[in-house]
Amino acid sequence: MKFFEKILIANRGEIAIRVMRACREMDIETVGIYSSADTNALHVRYADEAFCVGEAHPSKSYLNIERIIDIAKKSGAEAIHPGYGFLAENYRFAKVCQDEGIVFIGPRSKTIQAMGSKIGSKKLMKSAGVPVLPGTDDGISDIEMAKKVAIEIGYPVIVKASAGGGGIGMQIVDDENALEDAITGSMRIAKSAFGDATVFIEKYLVKPRHIEFQVLADEHGHAVHLYDRECSIQRRHQKLVEEAPSPIMTEDLRERMSASALKVAKVSDYTNAGSVEFLYSNGNYYFMEMNTRLQVEHTITEFITGIDLVRQQIAIAAGETLPFEQSDVSIRGHAIECRINAEDPLNNFAADPGKIIRYRSPGGPGIRVDSGIHMGYTIPPNYDSMIAKLCAWDSTRPETIKRMRRAISEYIILGIKTTLPLHYAIMNSQQFIDGNTHTHFLQEEHIIKSLDRYKRDEEARMQTLAGSFEQGKKVAAITAAVNHYIQQKKV
Q: How far is the CB of 264 from ligand ADP (least distance, A)?
A: 14
Q: How far is the CB of 256 from ligand ADP (least distance, A)?
A: 19
Q: How far is the CB of 473 from ligand ADP (least distance, A)?
A: 50
Which residues in the 274-303 window bind ligand ADP by CB under 6 A? 277, 279, 288-289
Question: Which residue's CB is nearer to ligand ADP, number 80 or number 115?
Answer: 115
Residue 164 is a binding residue for ligand ADP (CB under 6 A)? yes
Q: Which of 18, 229, 254, 293 is catalytic?
A: 293
- Provide the 3-class DSSP secondary structure of residue 378: strand
Question: Which residue's CB is nearer to ligand ADP, number 225 or number 229?
Answer: 229
Q: Kindly give the interhelix angle for 91-99 and 109-116, rounded to the nearest 10 degrees.
A: 170
Q: Are 131 and 286 in contact (CB under 8 A)?
A: yes
Q: How far is the CB of 297 from ligand ADP (least distance, A)?
A: 12
Among 54, 58, 82, 208, the residue binding ligand ADP under the rule CB under 6 A is: 208
Question: Which residue's CB is nearer to ligand ADP, number 4 or number 204?
Answer: 204
Among 14, 202, 370, 394, the residue binding ligand ADP under the rule CB under 6 A is: 202
Question: Which residue's CB is nearer to ligand ADP, number 31 or number 149?
Answer: 149
Q: What is the dihedral of CA 469, 475, 478, 479, to 10 degrees?
A: -120
Q: Point out which span in 26-34, 200-208, 247-255, 483-491 binds ligand ADP (CB under 6 A).
A: 200-208
- Provide the 3-class DSSP secondary structure of residue 171: strand
- Provide the 3-class DSSP secondary structure of residue 153: helix
Q: What is the distance between the alpha carbons of residues 317 and 15, in angstroms, rounded to a whole number? A: 18
Indicate if 293 belongs to the active site: yes
Q: How far is the CB of 168 from ligand ADP (least distance, A)?
A: 6
Q: What is the distance between the alpha carbons of residues 245 and 393, in angstroms, rounded to a whole number? A: 11
- Provide the 3-class DSSP secondary structure of residue 359: strand
Q: What is the distance between the alpha carbons of residues 164 and 190, in angstroms, rounded to a whole number? A: 7
Contacts of 170 (CB under 8 A, 6+ apart): 158, 159, 160, 161, 164, 186, 237
E strand intervals along 10-132: 29-35, 49-54, 79-81, 103-104
Q: Are 397 and 249 in contact (CB under 8 A)?
A: no
Among 112, 205, 331, 367, the residue binding ligand ADP under the rule CB under 6 A is: 205
Site track 216-255 with ligand ADP (rule: CB under 6 A), x = hit: ------------------x--x------------------
Catalytic machinery residues: 293
The residue ranges that bind ligand ADP (CB under 6 A) are: 133, 158, 164-168, 202-205, 208, 210, 234, 237, 277, 279, 288-289, 439
